[in-house]
Chains A and B, each alone.
Chain A
Amino acid sequence: MLQIDDLSLQLPYYASWWRRQWAEVLAGVSLDVRPGEVHAVIGASGAGKSLLAHALMGLLPAPHRQAGHLTFKGQPLTAARQRQLRGRELALIPQSLSALDPLVRSQRQVRWAAQRAGHTAARAPHTANQALAHYQLDERAQQAFPHQLSGGMARRVLTAMAHVSSAQLVIADEPSVGLDPQQRDRVLNALAALAREGKAVLLISHDLRHALPIAQRVTIMRQGRCLETAPAAAFEGDGHALTTRYAQALWRALPDNHFTSPVTQPAPHVA
């Protein structure tokens, strides 16, 4: 579905008032997302995960340098094609809830998304309502403004917008941040369900533990580079199936596992 080959990205920064320099934020990123698959991209903050998402959608700020090849459904994914497919075949569930229009009720926002995806104005309300009901958003939530929604509900509205777009590739950027366990499971299960329908899902998260149960493959990113892509099943036991030390360290640092890191002293235990 989506093939990323050797993607590099440079963003400008100002060393002083007049001297512009380029910082390499992505370097040689290669991965692919297959239909029916949840592919998780895991990394610390600053690893370039969200920039990768924005590069795929063509949403990066104007002065930037990009190299490498993006292929979507066998065709090169150029800036023009990104513009054309965005919201139709490519959907982004953004990290920030401020992506919702604060002055528009959630039902109407989903309807707009449906119309953009090509549903007629007559069909769109019906599609929107179906999608909202699908994500267990009741009448009150449908008529609410974004600030009246809980974090979990707002995420589900964003997911519903991706759902009505009938996109073939859904990119979810940190969808589970700040949600309680029930809400988080609901949002993640919704993504897993999209993959089961045959869509390709790129799940961007720092939360390795909760990405694993729904992902088939996991790519670990660090400082703008892909360290390794491993099947989700490789994250088990001591992490011996993982090839890079960083991936092993991430896995072992989880509170369910050893809660230690090879760099620092062993973590203190109370229990």
Chain B
Amino acid sequence: MAEVLVVVEASSQGGVKKVTLEMLTLARTLGGDVAAVVLGGSSDELTAKLGEYGATKIYAAAGADLDEYLVAPKATVLAGLIQRVSPAAVLLASTQEGKEIAARVAVKLDNGVLTDVVALEPDGTATQVVFAGSTIVKSKVTKGLPIVTVRPNSLTPAPAPATPAVEPVEVAVADKDRLAKVVERKVEAKGARPELAEASIVVSGGRGVGSADNFKLVEELADLLGGAVGASRAAVDSGFYPHQFQVGQTGKTVSPQLYVALGISGAIQHRAGMQTSKTIVAVNKDAEAPIFELADFGVVGDLFKVVPQAAEEIRKRK
């Protein structure tokens, strides 16, 4: 039985992102062995983690080419590996880099690619949620093998311990892969908060939050709940919060267990990014705000009174 390849998405600190564990869990349901592909920076800790979630083999590629240039060398290495081992399917994370690698591999191999997949059957049928969460699509790659990018938080990762064999993969890239050079990587402090796309709880603020300073309220509630902070486009455009935390169209799509919308009216472009959240809670002073149409629990009122009181109540219960 051919292997299913899972391309590992790691953070710059070497930790493995949750979506990688989700992909390993998904890969185990497809039949066949699960092999992880590490493109740059392997470690014993990483190997152990990948084994814990069922990787029986790890293809490990490393080298300056993978680190110093944007995406193209990784795509060349992955395409070469696919041609060599003829896997049953290839899973990548539906992140900026995951999609970019998938794009190049698809062109190199003249192979179909499906992105933002939330479920995948052994026969290759993929489920996608499109058009601002309004439509569910079932698709298949019809040329080549299934190359799919998996949206974070689409399933719950489950361990299945294995002891992976590590196989080094040669990195042989062409000059045309060395055109876009990464000259600096800046890590901005984000504290202990989970990453937005991967968080199981997201607390977001909108125009109603009123100022950058007031976003401390949003952060406080997020921290008490152990969640990530998000922002609507209106809040980002007003300069209240940085763009990388924007939820919705032209921002991130999130699908947490709990989404808390504070002072967000719920324009369709925002709903596009959070509509598939499991539970939605909203606080807004406008009783007619469209966000209440999708909220499982809504509080009509002043968020500057409701949120501090909620924070106090959570502290009491802790």
Mutual binders A and B: no
Measured CB to CB, the residues of B under 8 A from A are none
